[in-house]
Amino acid sequence: MRAAVRNIKSAFRHQRNSYSVAFVRSRSHLIEGNSSSVYRQTGNAEIHRFLFPAIFISRVFSTDAAAKVNITVNKAGPLVEYERRIAAGELVDGDACQVGTLRELRRLYDEIVESADACRLERYAVPEKTVRNRWFWSRLMPRSSCSPVKGLYLYGGVGTGKTMLMDLFYDQLPSNWRKNRIHFHDFMLNVHSRLQRHKGVADPLEVVAGEISDEAVLLCLDEFMVTDVADALILNRLFRHLFSNGVILAATSNRAPDNLYEGGLQRDLFLPFIATLKERCVVHEIGSAVDYRKLTSAEQGFYFIGKDLSGLLKQKFEQLIGEHVASPQVVDVVMGRTLQVPLGANGCAYFSFEELCDKPLGAADYFGLFKNFHTLALEGVPDFGLHNRTAAYRFVTLVDVMYENRSRLLCTAEGSPHELFENIMTVSDAQQMAPRTSSRSRRNDDSDLCVDNELGFAKDRTISRLTEMNSKEYLEQHAEERQLSQQDANADALKVYKA
């Protein structure tokens, strides 16, 4: 393991020198304030599965580049890899705020590589009952073994590249290390599922933390956002156990730590978690004001605006399923729960908005849905306001889960993404809103204004994601991924047949 670490560090030093000229060139571009970045896609390259809307990153290099770059150099760190992509022409321009963030990621990368042995990052086999035994012995001989490495909490506005940068960092680390990259919604669903499984234990939360830390020393959580009181009440104890077990946290969020769960029920019980988070992580804001998702082609795609468009949506749905016959289906969710799908075929599901967002469903149901379907046809998305605030929350969660799974959306809606959320605002927005005049009218009556800090904050992310999900680039990426998945499935089927 020490030899492997030395190789990585050596490669980093070599690569840092090799690309110093490229870095100076790109940095001078960035500091000059050219934030309207344009990126180009390399010829016939498969788009990276975690697509950053305006940064097209190929999974395979061009033939010339591939001959010059070996696998050791590729593991030289996030900043070096970022510069390599600029030098290779995969990334034409950049953002000074992103480069500043990459320096923080490089700090984390360097410290993790330096402390790889101390952090016990290499995978090992965990004997059965190890975790429960740990709980027993910890009662007799309590000890703390926090990691010598501080994690990173990265926050900033929507579409500024947080997820792309974290993925770039994550992909540079050795695949045999104990690491996990997961969406925060999915992570908390997993935690609650494990808690159910360990119901009879005196302290199930400690057992769950032990299981998680045995599986992953580096935990990368995307879209850290606390809206559920059940999550809020357990986070402090959960993460205290995780940090005591040596877990290193890297997280992205739209919110600064001090603004997490703002206005939530029993928030005073949540505040200790904020202190714990700031103690174990370096907090860094990515200050870019550019939403790169909106720099895509922003073509209409499958987003249809207007009423009485049910026939059009069904026609598009039938075109996508081809010769397959749509029928009601049932999908497994979590803990024995199931979700009824009104119509489904060929990886495509059809729902009315009421069936998916007006019923008591949540992230677990949506994750279950998109583990079975890659495309959703959603009929009748309404304008949101005070009268349907709960449905608006579910729609925000639905879009988050779809985006995380790189799913395709066909929908009919009463307005554009901006118009759907026109009546949703934060307290600050409401205070600054000018009085209604004849020259300033709203599509909906002011009596339907919904002043909700959490929802008002989340709407920008949802608008940004809906815009990208209906762009030409996103839909082309989805089509390419479906084609690759089908090729993999055919190859697997052939292996089974030959066996």
Written as tens digits, the pLDDT of the chain (499 aa) is 444 444 444 444 444 443 333 333 333 333 333 333 333 333 333 333 333 333 333 333 333 333 333 333 345 788 888 788 777 766 545 566 777 888 899 999 999 999 988 888 887 644 445 545 554 545 444 545 788 999 999 998 776 778 888 888 999 999 899 999 999 988 998 999 999 999 888 899 999 999 999 999 999 999 998 988 889 999 999 999 999 999 999 999 988 999 999 888 889 999 999 999 999 999 999 876 555 555 444 455 688 988 888 999 999 999 999 999 999 999 998 778 899 999 999 999 999 999 999 999 999 999 999 999 999 999 999 999 999 999 999 999 999 999 989 999 999 999 999 999 999 998 877 777 755 544 444 444 567 899 888 898 889 889 988 988 988 878 888 888 887 877 766 666 566 556 6
According to the model, what pLDDT value does residue 48 have? 37
Output the CA–CA distances (angstroms, integers) from residue 136 to 37, 203, 240, 245, in the order listed.
55, 10, 18, 15
According to the model, what pLDDT value does residue 134 have? 53
Measured between alpha carbons, how far is 228 from 132 in angstroms, rounded to an integer?
A: 28
Is 293 within 8 Å of 468 (Cβ atoms)?
A: yes
Output the CA–CA distances (angstroms, integers) from residue 219 to 19, 144, 213, in the order listed.
29, 18, 9
Phi, psi (deg, nearest 5) at residue 87: -65, -35
Q: What residue type is assigned to position 6 of the chain?
A: R
Burial class (CB in 10 A: 0-12, 13-18, 19+), 180: middle
CA dihedral sign, ordered 153, 223, 221, 165: negative
Angle between helices 204-215 and 229-244 (to 10 degrees): 60
According to the model, what pLDDT value does residue 57 have? 31
The token pair at 460 is 């920008």
Measured between alpha carbons, how far is 152 from 106 in angstroms, rounded to an integer?
A: 11
Measured between alpha carbons, how far is 40 from 56 in angstroms, rounded to an integer?
A: 6
The token pair at 398 is 């639905």
Residue with tokens 């870019």: 288
According to the model, what pLDDT value does residue 445 have? 57
Measured between alpha carbons, how far is 399 from 421 in angstroms, rounded to an integer?
A: 14
Domains in the chain (CATH in brackets) are 78-122+145-285 (3.40.50.300), 301-432+446-490 (no CATH)
Three-state SS sequence of 332-352: ECCCCCEEEEEEEECCEEEEE
Question: How many alpha carbons fall within 13 Å on the CB side of residue 389?
Answer: 14
SS3 297: coil
The token pair at 108 is 């984390």
pTM of this structure: 0.61
Measured between alpha carbons, how far is 471 from 231 in angstroms, rounded to an integer?
A: 34
According to the model, what pLDDT value does residue 146 have? 84
* Residue from 410, 419, 425, 420 nearest 382 by CA: 420
Helix H or strand E segment including 303: strand 303-305
According to the model, what pLDDT value does residue 144 have? 53
Output the CA–CA distances (angstroms, integers) from residue 406 to 84, 317, 386, in the order listed.
26, 18, 30
Measured between alpha carbons, how far is 399 from 245 in angstroms, rounded to an integer?
A: 34
Within 55-203, residue ranges assigned H as helices are 63-68, 71-74, 78-87, 96-114, 130-140, 162-171, 184-197
Phi, psi (deg, nearest 5) at residue 310: -60, -40
Contact partners, residue 413, CB within 8 Å, separation at least 6: 303, 304, 305, 380, 381, 382, 420
